[in-house]
Amino acid sequence: MHTTVGIIGGGPSGLLLARLLHNAGIDSVVLERRDRAYVEQRQRAGILEQATVDVLRAAGAGERLDREGMPHDGIELRYGGRAHRVDFPALTGGRRVWVYAQTEVVKDLVALQLADGGPLYFEAEVHAVEGVTASDRAEDRPVIRYTHEGREKTLTCDYVVGCDGFHGVTRGMLPEGVRTTYERTYPYSWLGILADAPPVYDELIYAHSERGFALASMRSESVSRLYLQVPNGTDPADWSDGRIWDELDARFALDANPEWRLKRGTVTSKAVLPMRSHVTEPMRYGRVFLAGDAAHIVPPTGAKGLNLAVADVIVLARAFAHLKDTGSTGLLDAYSDTCLRRVWRAEHFSYFMTTTLHADPEQSPFETRLQLSQLDRIATSEHAAAELAENYTGLPLAQ
Ligand code: DHB
């Protein structure tokens, strides 16, 4: 089998890329290692930047998002027993974000692709990408070897895009001497829960507390999504529902309103998420491209991961369309540099949000005071608040 673009990975970046290519008249094949149910159920973040919403709508995947997505015009910061709202439209000239879970985006894109798109194979395990060289010559086409329905198969591609996440195989196809990795791990994780409980407040709350970070988000009017900072290596089984709710209430506590409590409900899912920053450069080698988590990971604070993956894919789809229309590889050649500028901005913002809001177990009282001063600066300076709001709602996409 032959295709123009072989896409390894059927998460949001692979599926959206396939969609954008299809709409541009470019054929692709998506190979996803897991089954459909797994891909559609895995819980991830739920904040979409305006640019992400715009591209999903333009791609034809905006119908349910427009019905069920919840536009948000700000977030609340809680620290030192106080609350401060960051007003996004006022600070950014009208930008906002949307709450719509990544898993819903995936369901919408899978349905579209299966109804009207190129092949999307689930349980297709890639073993190797052969013929990967620094060269961009047509005769050096890469070949993907994979297993599907118990058979060994090959897919010859003009280009291969690795959308297969941090643990995927594609990044390893870039020779060691070519790749540089930048990495940071954090001395804490998140315990993320879903609960059948209405959110108490219609915006997200990010809380700094000496007990550790907490975040209140939502999935609908009756389902809350909540996160607690926990030590690395935490076993979710050690956190009973009661312990989770008590700890969340303690971290969100307000001096001016000591009666303030979350609404409690049955916890329906509980998982520990590690925190890491990672960037692999370059994001392209010969005819192989990396997009999304295959090339970069951000810690979740600030919800940049999915939006960053979408931005990569927009740049890449434009570059393939440009090649088709003009015969020029100019935009493909610029892909890595174009994406990495945005990637590093998001790396900095995610690091900033993470280290400003979490309690490092080794941190000194001096460092805690610095965090509180930084949060106070955001609460009292429009410039500091606008810096947060611009990054949170998403900087403009590169042209
Ligand atoms: C969510 C996740 C985040 O990491 C974040 O910063 C905000 C919201 C979420 O899952 O809703």
380-399 pLDDT tens trace: 999 999 999 999 999 988 75
> Do 338 and 230 fall into the same domain?
no
Residue 367 belongs to a domain: yes
> Do 45 and 129 fall into the same domain?
yes
Residue 152 belongs to a domain: yes
> Do 190 and 175 fall into the same domain?
no
The per-residue pLDDT for 399 is 56
The per-residue pLDDT for 33 is 97
The per-residue pLDDT for 42 is 87
Residue 198 belongs to a domain: yes
> Do 137 and 179 fall into the same domain?
yes
Residue 83 belongs to a domain: no
Residue 227 belongs to a domain: yes
The per-residue pLDDT for 303 is 96
List, run by run, the mean pLDDT of 10-residue segments along the chain (399 residues): 97 97 97 97 91 96 96 97 97 96 96 94 96 81 96 97 96 94 98 96 94 97 97 98 98 96 96 97 97 98 97 98 98 98 98 98 97 98 98 86
Q: Say which CATH number the domain at 29 has.
A: 3.50.50.60
> Do 245 and 310 fall into the same domain?
no
> Do 163 and 212 fall into the same domain?
no
Q: Is 72 a catalytic residue?
A: yes
Q: Is 153 a catalytic residue?
A: no
| 367: nearest Cα among 353, 378, 375, 356 | 356
296 lies in which domain range?
Answer: 2-70+99-183+276-353
> Do 314 and 367 fall into the same domain?
no
Total length of the chain: 399
Pocket test for ligand 1, best of 42, 43, 44, 47 (most atoms within 8 A of CB): 47
Q: Say which CATH number the domain at 380 has.
A: 3.30.9.10
> Do 131 and 25 fall into the same domain?
yes
**Which residue of the set 22, 72, 107, 358 is catalytic?**
72
> Do 126 and 16 fall into the same domain?
yes
Residue 233 belongs to a domain: yes
**Which residue of the set 79, 146, 188, 206 is catalytic?**
206
User: Ligand 1, atom 3: nearest CA belongs to which residue?
Assistant: 303
Domain count, the chain: 2
> Do 202 and 160 fall into the same domain?
no
> Do 28 and 130 fall into the same domain?
yes
**Which residue of the set 159, 285, 335, 392 is catalytic?**
392
Residue 291 belongs to a domain: yes
The per-residue pLDDT for 98 is 97
The per-residue pLDDT for 43 is 84
223: tokens are 């389902």
Ligand 1 touching residue 298 (CB < 6 A): no
Centroid of ligand 1 to alpha carbon of 387 (angstroms):
19
Q: Is 392 a catalytic residue?
A: yes
The per-residue pLDDT for 139 is 77
Pocket test for ligand 1, best of 49, 86, 217, 225 (most atoms within 8 A of CB): 217
Centroid of ligand 1 to alpha carbon of 367 (angstroms):
25
Query: How would you class 104 by CB atoms within 10 Å of its CB: exposed for 0-12, middle for 13-18, buried for 19 or more?
Result: middle
> Do 36 and 119 fall into the same domain?
yes
Instruction: State CA 316 to chain mean position distance.
Output: 17
Answer whether 0.85 is exceeded by the pTM.
yes
Residue 92 belongs to a domain: no
Ligand 1 touching residue 46 (CB < 6 A): yes
The per-residue pLDDT for 398 is 72
The per-residue pLDDT for 342 is 97
The per-residue pLDDT for 129 is 95
